[in-house]
Structure 1
């Protein structure tokens, strides 16, 4: 499955230009700050220093811009997930790679993540954004498949609720906060990832000496 929507973006099939990419970044920042529904085409054009009509030379609608931002994000996420599963038969190693891949991807697509979190009810109800649900379903299935596999191999607890663990970890990973980038904390991104993986696989309970 691919989440790419290029075939449905009338007037937006040309190769991306530097100007186009700049408009997408500006729009993404506004969508993240004000919400997708709360942002107007005029505000995007004003931020870019152009007339509203000029924006339509690059995109046929505000939805086309949102579409480009979200599909690029989910394509990136799924590429990392698929590679993680393809690269190993070990469920623990696959999950570790998924966590690292997710962190790197989310750092590149903060605006898209905030858009999904703030305006999911809107996007999920629009037919043109139907690929969002398909992508989220694949993400969930990838996580739960590895967790269930780990249960079967004896690496993970037999009573583990795979769907619950997936939801908890997804929400931790997908929080777009600055501390995850290590700003002002003294922790690097790798240290934060290692901390999460240590909590996931080893817990916080002290082990009795053997």
Structure 2
């Protein structure tokens, strides 16, 4: 990750290159790279492999993205920006804490539909990427998301709708890791949608296995 190591200033414009952000070719390249990152890992995937899979020359890839890091940057930042925006909208509404938590969980599951690759890459690569200044926002976003969830859980404890134990941080990490793992193993089969899966997880989290 030499291009990342050399960056010492604030993050550059996402993506780099000169192509329009919303160009069809750009989005196609991003989707191809995302699939390779999710399946093979970010470090193990080369620019040439991305170009070959997309049916373009490496030089054409650099017309849209200035580096491999720029690709994964756009992949992760787009996912996290959308997720955090959704979470902020949820907690801005004055709803009971158990309903708010349910909506956060459903939103997390729904995010996998459009951002499966980003969820997988973040799950496996966050620690490595966070070592570089360009990806400092990963820790910042993670801290905000955790704060949102734990504040809602603490409010529920104060309202008497949630148990005091386990602690909010443990509940959050359990939910985060369980939901993220879904991106790796779950495939909609026409009988159980992501919404259905979210409802089942909600039942398990909020009511447990006891009859």
- Conserved 8 A contact 1:28-1:69: yes
**Relative to 1, partners in 2 of residues 1:73 and 1:62: Cα closer, same or farther, differing over 3 Å?**
same
Distance in structure 2 (CA, Å) of the matches to 1:177 and 1:65: 21
Matched residue, 1:189 = 194
Q: Distance in 2 between matches of 1:13 and 1:54?
A: 11
Q: 2:184 matched to which residue of 1? A: 177
- SS of the residue corresponding to residue 89 of structure 1 reads coil
- Count matched residues: 200
Distance 2:174 2:194 in 1: 20
TM-score, L = length of structure 1: 0.88
CA distance in 1, matches of 2:201, 2:124: 25
Deviation at 1:24, TM superposition (A): 0.2
1:28 and 1:111 in contact (8 A); partners too: yes
2:32 to 26, 32, 39: 26
Residues 68 and 194 of structure 1: is their aligned pair in 2 closer, same or farther, counting only changes over 3 Å? same
* Structure 2: runs of 5 or more not aligned: 1-10
* Aligned ranges 1:60-209 → 2 under 5 Å: 60-175=66-181, 176-179=183-186, 181-183=187-189, 186-206=191-211
Structure 1: gaps spanning 5 or more residues: none
Residues 149 and 172 in structure 2, CA contact (< 8 A), matched pair in contact too: yes
- Higher RCO (CA < 8 A, seq sep 6+): 2
Kindly report structure 1 stretches of 4+ aligned residues shifted beyond 4 Å. none
How big is the shift at 1:10? Answer: 3.7
Does the 8 A contact of 1:151 with 1:160 survive in 2?
Answer: no
Tell me the equivalent position of 2:8: none
**Normalization by structure 2: what TM-score?**
0.88
